[in-house]
Chains A and B, each alone.
Chain A
Amino acid sequence: MNHPLPKWVDYGLIPLLNLVTAFLVAGLVVLIVGENPFEAAYLLVRGAFGYGGGIGYTLFYATNFIFTGLSVAVAIHCGLFNIGSEGQAYVGGIGVAAACLALDHYVPWFVTLPFAIAGAAIAGAAWALIPAWLQAKRGSHVVITTIMFNFIASALMIYLLVEVLKPAGSMSPETRTFVEGGRIPKLDWLFELFGSSLGGAPFNWTFFLALLCCYLVWLLIWRTRLGYEIRTTGTNPTAAVYAGIPQVRTIVIAMLISGALAGMMAINPVMGDQARLQESFPAGAGFVGIAVSLMGRNHPVGIIFAAILFGMLWQGGAELAFDMPNISRDMIVVIQGLVILFAGALEHMYRPALSAIFFMRQSSGAPASAGQANTGEA
């Protein structure tokens, strides 16, 4: 029997325990490779938070993961498992690049940005439309179709970059570099306020756009009629039909919003860092979004924390691989994988035990009220 746990256990203790477990197992792996796990942990944390540039990179990666995490979360609230955030983010890059290529010579970056946002959202949503439609109308499972669309996106982007977007005479599959009007400025001043320095880290204004999106997603899911319909459809489809909520419309809209959020992730690397559209720029952020959303309990606040955690793993992991020769880049992927495994896939591992411990303590304390007595047997 599963009892509801108090919020601080649910949202604080359980993720923490999962994380600690992940790091313990990762520590064993480091030990097997013949390195000191404590030193490795120290290097990882120092790489991610120890200096201005490290923090900058951590937050830069976190920005990507916030967008993809929100993308996955919105779909999950509608009962859909969107595995296609990766492809949607990739295709979203076209929207960003189109806005930048068209405008960067003529207007400042903050005029380009709204067009880039719109372009990214529209392109990402468009990439989610067909899977959404197939799910809503034909019942084709969205997990299958979005995986397929990741591959199609990959092929499409390579074609576009090599055959269409590559400037004449260039050897690399990427667009020309945007000039000033297509680049989002970095947030050096913010770090200087604290007497630190961003160094070369690409941390930029997109981070605040991501935070704004967190607020908007919260508003959408818990405070709008559409969000109510999305949650009802996702939690109890039969009740949604009973309530007269149009299924096809709700599923399609939820997937479009999910795709749009994934697409907007492209703004960060394309317009905020590289100033050009490159091959494979999402670099797995779409898949990390699944773990971020799971670990953040599909709630925007949780997603921010989970995104920063994964940003830390990405940045600190890179530094660790650099500092410890025995720990290769692949080892870092193993450690990240362990965190995903324990925090995401096995997130309920400790729940039954905690539930038992917690309620044993409680029942020996204050007697249960009549209200609680009802809940247990219902």
Chain B
Amino acid sequence: MAEKAAEEAGTGKAPKPVHPAIELRGISKSFGPVKANRNIDLRVERGTIHGIIGENGAGKSTLMSILYGFYHADSGDILIGGKPVRITGSQEAIALGIGMVHQHFMLVHNFSVLENIILGAEGGNVLNSARTRARSELERLEREYDMHVDPDAIIEELPVGLQQRVEILKALYRGAEILILDEPTGVLTPAEADHLFRILEQLREQGKTIILITHKLREIMAITDNVSVMRRGEIVATRKTAETNVEQLAELMVGRRVLLRVDKGKASPGETKLSVQGLTVADSRRVTMVDAVTFDVRAGEIVGIAGVAGNGQSELLEAIAGIRRAKQGKVLLDGRPIGVTGPGDPAAMRDRGLAHVPEDRHHMGLVLPFEENENSILGYHTKQQYLNGPLLDIDAIRNDAKAKIEQYDIRPPDCRLKTANFSGGNQQKIVLAREMERDPSVLLIGQPTRGVDVGAIEFIHKRIIEMRDAGKAILLVSVELDEIRSLADRILVMFAGRIVGERTPEASEGELGLLMAGIQDGEGRTGGRAA
């Protein structure tokens, strides 16, 4: 099947004039009052990489779910290769040659690569023949696309980049002609992302059609042939990538001009506010997650911690905030030690002027079923200003929440609304307003813009810089390297629980990327500060 399509499409990039690989006509989908997709027209030419970009909640995922048969469109037609089709389930989508690589991989962790590949395509009750067939087919695919994976490796032992490759192979094994990738680079190092793009280019050469869903403008520019911009459930523009630029796309996404570059002056660091010395933290399985980490954060500077997710950044933040118990090491706040190795006391940390914007606002930073005003006092609910004897001072709490809503432009401006009903960006603003308005001396910020739309990102970045200029010591953890580079005054790179290097924000992305991947640069600098 794969060869047949390749023949049809030829090997060049040039789209054939005949039929586009996918054509959507007037697709609409509502969830109750919410129009997730409105009258979507989309043509994806065969043998091209088509980017779909948009803010969170713009309807990208809904559209792809319709294409993959998870949802059924309220109206509109889907044409695959010029033929109208009805897709009511993923099995049909697969039969039509559509493969999907999900943001969160759909792999069985303790199965081997081969077992995952044949999962759902076993072709009978006895596995042996399927396995033999899959093995030879897999070898052919690997040769064809230059994507090597050991078929007998267990999934959980593979790095994330290779797991993703298994997902792609899984789709190709099922004869996918059209590959949909949903935010594929979120979990990858820059080097892994580059490798992925090379694979995608290879697939395009072979005549496959690829839809790339992302919110990263740079990726769109780097790899796609065409790009469609979604906003509020509609496709607002489709452009040839070569004929557009980052600024234009950002403006189309948000609907107004956005400042992509963070405007910031030089830092003027003061005395040391936060000093971390030889901090070692183990997780519940007693695996060392943070390994003898040492660094300082001074007043009026932003120290950024770069690294691929899962290299100990979360544990580091939680240990400093008093949420997670450290195994050993010292943390000094304003020169006075805080008992990080004892039972943590986040309330005492707050009293000492340490504010913490947690990485995961849904799990930690907010209680989603609570009213907005109830979340705006979380962690500060013991403060006298919110209490009236043993009772909560409801008026004081609500007025305080209203003031923050206005100041941070939280929408909708309703402090009685359930927090779950705010968008990601507004939820993050609730957390930021709560933590920043306490006038802390040290601010820990984890993933400030994860799942936050472009418009809100601009606002959040500005506030962080303002906090710095007001003389706060800020420790910033983010998996978005761009964010770290544009905000931080110094960058520490974390890999496997250790700080493997310190760089200035001017360091090239390649250099930082190598450090993030744990590749020693041979200059004897790596691991220096961690020792």
Contact = CB atoms under 8 A, between A and B. Distances in A.
B421 A378 contact: yes
B365 A1 contact: no
A362 interface: yes
Contact of A363 (B33, B387, B414): B33
Interface of B: 30-36, 56-57, 59, 62, 232-233, 321-323, 345-350, 356, 358, 363-370, 374, 378-379, 381-382, 387, 390-392, 394, 411-412, 414, 418, 420-424, 426-427
B391 to A, nearest CB: 5
A92 to B, nearest CB: 25
A228 B32 contact: no
A371 B345 contact: no
A363 B30 CA distance: 9
Interface string A339-372: 0000000000000000100011011000110111
B281 to A, nearest CB: 15
Given A228-B392, A239-B363, A368 B35 contact: yes
A179 B143 CA distance: 95
Contact of B34 (A242, A355, A373): A373
A377 B420 CA distance: 11
Contacts of B427: 378
Given A235-B367, A241-B346, A244-B345, A371 B411 contact: yes
Contacts of A374: 57, 411-412, 421-423, 426
B367 A239 contact: yes
Nearest to A242: B364
B366 A239 contact: yes
A249 interface: no
Most buried by A among B232, B378, B414: B378
Contacts of A156: none
Given A4-B418, A229-B381, A362-B32, A242 B358 contact: yes
B374 A228 contact: yes
Interface in A208-253: 219, 223-226, 228-229, 231-232, 235-236, 238-239, 241-245
Nearest to A362: B33
A368 B38 CA distance: 13
B379 A244 contact: yes
B363 A3 contact: no
Contacts of B412: 370-371, 374
B346 A223 contact: no
A376 B31 CA distance: 7
B368 A236 contact: yes
Contacts of A170: none
Given A244-B345, A359-B32, A376-B32, 16 more contacts: A3-B32, A4-B418, A235-B368, A235-B369, A236-B368, A242-B365, A243-B346, A368-B33, A368-B34, A375-B421, A376-B33, A377-B34, A377-B56, A377-B62, A378-B421, A378-B424
Interface in A1-25: 1, 3-4
17 contacts: A1-B31, A3-B32, A225-B390, A228-B374, A232-B370, A236-B366, A238-B363, A242-B321, A243-B379, A244-B349, A245-B347, A363-B32, A370-B412, A374-B421, A376-B36, A377-B36, A378-B427
Contacts of B423: 374-375, 377-378
Given A235-B369, A242-B323, A363-B30, A225 B382 contact: yes
A1 B29 CA distance: 13
A374 B426 CA distance: 10
Given A244-B347, A371-B412, A373-B232, A236 B33 contact: no
B25 to A, nearest CB: 22
A3 B34 CA distance: 10
A367 B32 CA distance: 11
B81 to A, nearest CB: 31
Given A4-B418, A378-B424, A224 B370 contact: no
A43 to B, nearest CB: 43
Contact of B365 (A228, A239, A368): A239
Interface of A: 1, 3-4, 219, 223-226, 228-229, 231-232, 235-236, 238-239, 241-245, 355, 359-360, 362-363, 367-368, 370-378
Contacts of B322: 244
Contacts of A229: 381
A290 B32 CA distance: 33
Contacts of B33: 359, 362-363, 367-368, 372-373, 376
B57 A377 contact: yes
Nearest to A359: B32
Contacts of A363: 30, 32-33
Contacts of B414: 371
B417 to A, nearest CB: 8
Contacts of B424: 378
Contacts of B369: 235
A225 B32 contact: no
Most buried by A among B367, B394, B422: B367
A244 B232 CA distance: 38
B221 to A, nearest CB: 26
A341 to B, nearest CB: 26
A374 B34 CA distance: 8
Nearest to A372: B33
A224 B391 contact: yes
Contacts of A232: 367, 370, 378
B261 to A, nearest CB: 27
A1 B384 CA distance: 41
B421 A223 contact: no
B379 A228 contact: no
A360 B33 CA distance: 8
A351 to B, nearest CB: 13
B314 to A, nearest CB: 12
A227 to B, nearest CB: 8
Contacts of B32: 1, 3, 355, 359-360, 362-363, 376
Most buried by A among B33, B350, B358, B369: B33
Contacts of A241: 323, 346, 364
Contact of A235 (B36, B232, B370): B370
Nearest to A367: B33
Contact of A377 (B59, B391, B392): B59
Nearest to B61: A377
B433 to A, nearest CB: 16
Contacts of A362: 32-33
Nearest to A3: B32
Nearest to B377: A228
A353 B366 CA distance: 30
B387 to A, nearest CB: 6
A371 B423 CA distance: 9
Contacts of A373: 33-35, 232-233
A4 B33 CA distance: 12
B422 A236 contact: no
The 3 closest A-B pairs by CB, nearest first: A376-B34, A244-B347, A359-B32
A319 B156 CA distance: 65
Given A239-B366, A359-B33, A374-B423, A219 B323 contact: no
B277 to A, nearest CB: 24
